[in-house]
Amino acid sequence: MTLPKRPVLKARPAVAPSPEKITLETLRQMRSRAEPIAMLTCYDYSLARVLAGTGIHILLVGDSAAMTVLGENSTIHATMDFMLTITHAVRLGAPQSFVLADMPFASYATPDAAVANAARLLTHGQADAVKLECDAGHAPVIAAMHAAGIPTCAHLGLLPQRAAQTGGYKAQGRSAADADKIVNDAVTLWRAGADMLLLEAVPDALSSRVVAATDCPVLGCGAGQSCHGHVVVLHDLLGFTDKPPRFVEKMADVPAVIFQAVERYVNAVKNRQYPMPRHGYTMKEGQ
């Protein structure tokens, strides 16, 4: 008995990857041309290779890997060693993409610690820049990193590393006072030396104010249309998450494809249809 042939899926033509390395200057120029910046999370070599071929601009090696990859209930379980390992893996898979690495929980409590840990992500991890969750109180940290030559992205709005303090994953900046604070934080951090800003789960009206008040790429994660670029968690996009955030558009049901493939394999093994002679090796002639 032979296995039934699986249907051939014709993939859409991939966007040609950039022939040149995407740098911070590339992103600044895209901002000035009002050219949208596409960004996704990525945590491993194999997926980095796939994503790099799509023309993606930024790959965010997020501490969200603690949840999506390790199964933890919070991003704070992503350690520095873990982030170094996966950042380097993503760089190997996508040498031309801009790789932005998350600084893990408590790795930037002081300016000295921030510089030392960020330097490891840039040298050993080979990231192009680092992202840290912060507010105006982190201006000295951003300034120290800027002075050390470390490109930074200041993450404002919903801060997953502080979910235990703030009562969960909730949209931010929805009142006038809260919005004013986030805008002030953004401007303060930009003036301190932040090269990019990321706003998560905030109203578009707030994002529009930040874009108008600063002169750097502003990336949004559920932050409306005004941002220069947009990012979501890859696993949410591909259908791995049971209850993704409202701002994520599910683009595919990848778990179903994996399930079907593995189910076919299991059935083939059970029914002794795998392995077949063509899958094996023979002894050398004369042995």
The HSE-up count of residue 103 (CA atoms within 13 Å, CB side) is 31
Neighbours of 25 (CB within 10 A): 8
Backbone angles phi, psi at 278, to 5 degrees: -65, -15
Alpha helices in 95-249 (DSSP H): 111-123, 139-147, 163-166, 176-192, 204-213, 234-237
HSE-CB of 272 using CA atoms within 13 angstroms: 0
Backbone angles phi, psi at 282, to 5 degrees: -115, 160
What is the distance between the alpha carbons of residues 131 and 147, in angstroms, rounded to a whole number? 16
Chain centre distance of CA 183? 23
Answer for the pair 194, 142: CB distance below 8 angstroms, yes or no: yes
Give the C-alpha separation, 209 to 204, whole Å. Answer: 9
Count of residues for the chain? 287
What residues act catalytically? 200
Give the C-alpha separation, 139 to 270, whole Å: 61
C-beta of residue 58 within 8 angstroms of C-beta of residue 13: no
Q: Which two tokens stand for residue 197?
A: 């800003």
